[in-house]
Chains A and B, each alone.
Chain A
């Protein structure tokens, strides 16, 4: 029977655990979910993380102080010591570093792992086995508290947006989403915030903050504006999913309860046949595109009616009087043709198929 652990035991002879080992990097990921850095397939939970870090590969040239100074960049270091008993490569040392906060340890691991240090390459990993029962308890409590606070913050944000959401909207004679989008997003009028937020109600996603003004449609990703985002895990993602793939999902052979729920209960299915599991936002996009094309056609053939504006109103070209009837007719014809050509080319960027961007 193992003896009970007391506080002094946290500095005992270390064992080599599986989670200390560096796993092989995964090389078979499809491009769309490759991160900036190749990583192993591993799941991080609160159990794996710890205030205690182990740093291997430190060159044995008397640079302990420099190492701890480097660690201290990421947060206060409570304790540290060399782990002489731990198996180490020749001419390298291993150190145990205890940070005051888990967040500091996380940052230090992320930034120092695989980095070169005085000619060697550091391997940094969490060593939760050095924790005491109290350390573990506090770690779990802190984590739970953090997640709960984040949930409360999100709930408050949602309530605030719903409060704005309830402002009276403009009269909706034709399809609300089209009217609102076409009529307001193109203008730089910030009072359209209420209407734009209404769209989230129609698309049944939780309300999101105002889109940037250069977007033509709510949720539309204009290519130049795509900025790679990075989450806490350091994974980069900047993907435009292939909507055709998603729409071709019919009931698959995999009949788990999860799939069944998806097929019948998913809110996004409201506009599609029950067989399609996900209705990505872009299908609403395509509906709007189609409706826009129809209204654009109308606006070309029936000018001056009360249709939704598609683009900013261009100044009318000055009507030149050629002082000759036949010439004026010709000019009129040319002007009309130019209008037609102009409105069609306006639609082209809208119809442009969004391609998955290759990340470098």
Chain B
């Protein structure tokens, strides 16, 4: 966490701004994917958080979650997964109905998308959002994921169930699942 000179800082901000501008202006899907991935990767470095907040990149990522292009969804959710680690970005995402948008992505067929969704939901847990994120339907989804063939998904689901919910909530969800008896709901993603 060293200080940057103002030349580098202003370069960085303007570069990010240029990326966002290109994303908005270009018609090329390929270019949009590249820029989106670029921005999502920049969101990994905490040094860029302030710039990305100013450029409202969290909203850009959230908009991607309802796109048909699966790459847009995957990269957008990756960006949100990175951004949501930061408390201020997390709050911005929560205010923009992030929980519902992210939860809808739990049914994606892309493993990376689902992994990012689970992690993002974990990051979004706050005292006020806790009850929404530990809704029985989400818990049941996580229970299914904890039985997945994918070790990464199994691990993430396990961490979610152990760290974000109480044992009573989990066992209640388990009981409800047994009653339902069918695998209705969110299918497991294909690898």
Residues of chain A touching chain B, judged by Cβ–Cβ distance below 8 Å, are 1-2, 5, 17-19, 26, 28-30, 32-33, 41-48, 128-133, 135-137, 140, 143-144, 146-148, 150-151, 153-154, 157, 205-206, 208-212, 215, 218-219, 221, 225-227, 229, 231-233, 235, 237-241, 245-246, 249, 252, 254, 256-259, 261-262, 265-267, 277-278, 280-281
Contacts and interface: CB of A to CB of B under 8 A. Distances in A.
A278 B33 CA distance: 22
A261 B45 contact: no
Given A41-B33, A208-B9, A137 B18 contact: no
B46 A33 contact: no
Contacts of B56: 258, 261-262, 265-266
Interface string B66-90: 0000000011001101100111100
B74 A43 contact: yes
B24 A151 contact: no
A227 B75 CA distance: 29
A231 B74 CA distance: 22
A225 B5 CA distance: 11
A117 B35 CA distance: 33
Contact of B159 (A28, A136, A249): A136
A262 B3 CA distance: 29
Contacts of B1: 150, 153
A239 B85 contact: no
B14 A239 contact: yes
Nearest to A137: B159
A239 B7 contact: no
B151 A5 contact: yes
A235 B16 CA distance: 13
Given A140-B119, A144-B85, 10 more contacts: A5-B151, A18-B111, A133-B158, A136-B156, A205-B13, A206-B50, A212-B7, A237-B11, A254-B24, A258-B63
Contact of A211 (B7, B60, B81): B7
Contact of A241 (B15, B151, B158): B15
B34 A26 contact: yes
B191 A257 contact: no
9 shortest interchain CB distances as A-B pairs: A150-B46, A43-B78, A147-B85, A208-B6, A136-B155, A129-B151, A241-B18, A258-B59, A43-B40
B17 A221 contact: no
A210 B6 contact: yes
B42 A231 contact: yes
Interface in B82-125: 82, 85-88, 111-112, 115-116, 119, 122-123
Interface of B: 1, 3-15, 17-19, 21-22, 24-25, 30-31, 33-35, 37-38, 40-42, 44-50, 54, 56, 59-60, 62-63, 74-75, 78-79, 81-82, 85-88, 111-112, 115-116, 119, 122-123, 147-152, 154-156, 158-159, 162-163, 191
B10 A221 contact: yes
Given A232-B45, A258-B63, A227 B17 contact: no
A258 B60 contact: yes
Contacts of B147: 1-2
5 contacts: A2-B148, A41-B33, A211-B5, A241-B14, A241-B17
A334 to B, nearest CB: 41
Given A43-B74, A44-B41, A137-B163, A238 B81 contact: no
A43 B15 contact: no
Contacts of B15: 237, 239, 241
Contacts of A146: 46
A246 B63 CA distance: 22
B191 A132 contact: no
B24 A252 contact: yes
Contacts of A19: 112
Contact of A2 (B4, B6, B149): B149
Nearest to A266: B56
A47 B81 contact: yes
Contact of A33 (B19, B40, B82, B115): B19
B11 A225 contact: no
B158 to A, nearest CB: 5
A29 to B, nearest CB: 6
Contacts of B18: 32, 239, 241, 246
A128 B111 CA distance: 13
Given A17-B191, A28-B30, A154-B49, A221 B11 contact: yes
Given A46-B81, A233-B44, A245-B21, A140 B11 contact: no
